Amino acid sequence: MGKQEVVGILNKVDKLAVVAIAVIVLMGGIVLWALAGIISTVQPPDFGTISGMLGIETTTPTPTLAPVAPPPPTPTAPQPNEEHALVGIWAWDGNHNWQYNFNANGQAIRGVDAAQSFTWEAEDGYITMRFADRTERWSYVIVGDRLTLTSGQHEYHYYRMN
Protein backbone atom coordinates (compact mmCIF):
# COMPACT_ATOMS: atom_id res chain seq x y z
CA MET A 1 0.00 0.00 0.00
CA GLY A 2 1.42 3.32 -1.03
CA LYS A 3 1.79 6.53 0.87
CA GLN A 4 -1.06 8.19 -1.04
CA GLU A 5 -3.45 5.35 -0.27
CA VAL A 6 -2.62 5.59 3.46
CA VAL A 7 -3.14 9.38 3.42
CA GLY A 8 -6.49 8.90 1.62
CA ILE A 9 -7.65 6.37 4.21
CA LEU A 10 -6.58 8.65 7.09
CA ASN A 11 -8.49 11.59 5.56
CA LYS A 12 -11.64 9.47 5.33
CA VAL A 13 -11.17 8.27 8.94
CA ASP A 14 -10.68 11.89 10.10
CA LYS A 15 -13.90 12.97 8.37
CA LEU A 16 -15.84 10.06 9.92
CA ALA A 17 -14.43 10.87 13.37
CA VAL A 18 -15.49 14.52 13.01
CA VAL A 19 -19.01 13.47 11.96
CA ALA A 20 -19.23 10.95 14.85
CA ILE A 21 -18.10 13.57 17.38
CA ALA A 22 -20.61 16.09 15.99
CA VAL A 23 -23.45 13.54 16.31
CA ILE A 24 -22.44 12.70 19.90
CA VAL A 25 -22.30 16.38 20.88
CA LEU A 26 -25.67 17.04 19.23
CA MET A 27 -27.31 14.09 21.01
CA GLY A 28 -25.79 15.15 24.33
CA GLY A 29 -27.24 18.63 23.83
CA ILE A 30 -30.69 17.17 23.12
CA VAL A 31 -30.51 15.02 26.27
CA LEU A 32 -29.45 18.02 28.41
CA TRP A 33 -32.25 20.14 26.92
CA ALA A 34 -34.82 17.43 27.72
CA LEU A 35 -33.50 17.02 31.28
CA ALA A 36 -33.62 20.77 31.85
CA GLY A 37 -37.29 20.77 30.89
CA ILE A 38 -38.06 17.89 33.26
CA ILE A 39 -36.05 19.33 36.15
CA SER A 40 -37.72 22.75 35.84
CA THR A 41 -41.17 21.15 36.32
CA VAL A 42 -40.26 19.10 39.41
CA GLN A 43 -41.62 20.73 42.57
CA PRO A 44 -40.57 19.91 46.13
CA PRO A 45 -43.22 18.17 48.26
CA ASP A 46 -45.69 20.44 50.07
CA PHE A 47 -46.16 19.19 53.61
CA GLY A 48 -48.20 22.23 54.71
CA THR A 49 -51.44 20.76 53.29
CA ILE A 50 -53.26 17.46 53.49
CA SER A 51 -52.73 16.89 49.77
CA GLY A 52 -49.01 17.63 50.19
CA MET A 53 -48.67 15.16 53.04
CA LEU A 54 -50.45 12.49 50.98
CA GLY A 55 -48.40 13.25 47.88
CA ILE A 56 -51.49 14.21 45.86
CA GLU A 57 -50.73 16.75 43.16
CA THR A 58 -53.40 19.36 42.58
CA THR A 59 -53.64 22.15 40.06
CA THR A 60 -55.35 24.39 42.58
CA PRO A 61 -54.44 25.01 46.23
CA THR A 62 -57.47 23.01 47.41
CA PRO A 63 -59.77 20.27 46.10
CA THR A 64 -62.64 21.39 43.87
CA LEU A 65 -65.23 22.73 46.25
CA ALA A 66 -68.83 23.75 45.88
CA PRO A 67 -69.30 27.47 45.19
CA VAL A 68 -69.76 29.51 48.32
CA ALA A 69 -71.60 32.79 48.61
CA PRO A 70 -69.49 35.87 49.38
CA PRO A 71 -68.34 35.72 52.98
CA PRO A 72 -70.33 37.62 55.59
CA PRO A 73 -68.49 39.73 58.17
CA THR A 74 -66.05 37.76 60.32
CA PRO A 75 -68.10 35.90 62.93
CA THR A 76 -67.55 36.59 66.59
CA ALA A 77 -68.66 33.07 67.49
CA PRO A 78 -69.88 29.99 65.64
CA GLN A 79 -73.54 29.07 65.67
CA PRO A 80 -74.55 28.22 69.26
CA ASN A 81 -75.92 24.80 68.33
CA GLU A 82 -72.63 23.89 66.66
CA GLU A 83 -70.20 25.28 69.24
CA HIS A 84 -70.27 22.24 71.51
CA ALA A 85 -69.58 19.82 68.65
CA LEU A 86 -66.58 21.29 66.80
CA VAL A 87 -64.79 23.46 69.36
CA GLY A 88 -61.57 21.75 70.36
CA ILE A 89 -58.51 20.08 68.91
CA TRP A 90 -58.92 17.30 66.33
CA ALA A 91 -56.02 15.13 65.10
CA TRP A 92 -56.01 13.41 61.71
CA ASP A 93 -55.96 9.59 61.68
CA GLY A 94 -53.25 9.61 58.97
CA ASN A 95 -50.81 11.79 60.93
CA HIS A 96 -51.63 12.94 64.47
CA ASN A 97 -49.38 16.01 63.95
CA TRP A 98 -51.91 17.34 61.38
CA GLN A 99 -54.56 19.00 63.52
CA TYR A 100 -57.51 21.35 63.47
CA ASN A 101 -58.04 23.64 66.46
CA PHE A 102 -61.52 25.21 66.32
CA ASN A 103 -61.98 28.00 68.89
CA ALA A 104 -65.36 29.14 70.21
CA ASN A 105 -64.70 32.69 68.94
CA GLY A 106 -64.78 31.57 65.28
CA GLN A 107 -60.99 31.55 64.87
CA ALA A 108 -59.11 28.37 63.99
CA ILE A 109 -55.76 26.95 62.90
CA ARG A 110 -54.87 23.78 61.02
CA GLY A 111 -51.90 21.84 59.75
CA VAL A 112 -48.64 20.68 61.22
CA ASP A 113 -47.45 23.26 63.78
CA ALA A 114 -50.58 25.38 63.12
CA ALA A 115 -49.48 26.26 59.59
CA GLN A 116 -52.74 27.90 58.43
CA SER A 117 -55.11 30.23 60.26
CA PHE A 118 -58.72 30.87 59.25
CA THR A 119 -62.18 31.77 60.51
CA TRP A 120 -64.94 29.23 60.59
CA GLU A 121 -68.65 28.76 61.02
CA ALA A 122 -70.80 25.66 60.88
CA GLU A 123 -74.44 25.14 59.97
CA ASP A 124 -76.62 22.23 58.84
CA GLY A 125 -73.74 19.72 58.69
CA TYR A 126 -71.39 22.00 56.72
CA ILE A 127 -68.35 23.88 57.93
CA THR A 128 -67.14 26.95 56.03
CA MET A 129 -63.46 27.83 56.46
CA ARG A 130 -62.33 31.27 55.29
CA PHE A 131 -58.60 31.63 54.66
CA ALA A 132 -56.89 34.82 53.51
CA ASP A 133 -56.81 33.60 49.90
CA ARG A 134 -59.74 31.18 49.59
CA THR A 135 -62.85 29.69 51.16
CA GLU A 136 -63.42 25.97 51.70
CA ARG A 137 -66.71 24.26 52.46
CA TRP A 138 -66.72 20.72 53.87
CA SER A 139 -69.54 18.54 55.10
CA TYR A 140 -68.90 17.12 58.54
CA VAL A 141 -70.23 14.38 60.79
CA ILE A 142 -69.35 13.87 64.44
CA VAL A 143 -69.98 10.50 66.09
CA GLY A 144 -68.68 10.37 69.63
CA ASP A 145 -65.10 11.67 69.52
CA ARG A 146 -64.72 11.08 65.75
CA LEU A 147 -64.99 13.85 63.16
CA THR A 148 -65.31 13.11 59.43
CA LEU A 149 -64.72 15.93 56.92
CA THR A 150 -65.81 15.35 53.32
CA SER A 151 -65.45 17.45 50.17
CA GLY A 152 -65.95 15.90 46.75
CA GLN A 153 -64.07 12.60 46.73
CA HIS A 154 -61.90 13.54 49.70
CA GLU A 155 -62.82 12.20 53.13
CA TYR A 156 -60.68 12.60 56.23
CA HIS A 157 -61.15 11.21 59.73
CA TYR A 158 -60.06 12.96 62.94
CA TYR A 159 -60.25 12.14 66.64
CA ARG A 160 -60.81 14.59 69.48
CA MET A 161 -57.66 15.44 71.40
CA ASN A 162 -59.31 17.29 74.32
CATH code for the structural domain at 50-160: 2.40.128.290
Mean pLDDT calculated for residue range 65-83: 54
The residue that leads in pLDDT, 9 or 46, is 9
Per-residue model confidence (pLDDT) at position 19: 64
* Torsion angle (degrees, nearest 10) of CA 134, 47, 153, 41: 90
The residue that leads in pLDDT, 130 or 61, is 130
pLDDT digits (tens, 9 = 90+) for 46-71: 555 665 555 555 555 555 566 666 66
CB 162 within 8 A of CB 89: yes
CB 118 within 8 A of CB 106: no
pLDDT band at 4 (very low <50, low <70, confident <90, very high): confident
Q: Is the pLDDT of residue 88 over 60?
A: yes
d(CA 90, CA 148): 10
The residue that leads in pLDDT, 10 or 86, is 86
Mean pLDDT calculated for residue range 126-134: 94
**Quick one: which of 110, 105, 134 has its CA closest to 121?**
105
* Amino acid letter, residue 22: A
d(CA 81, CA 111): 26
Where in the chain are the domains? 1-42, 50-160
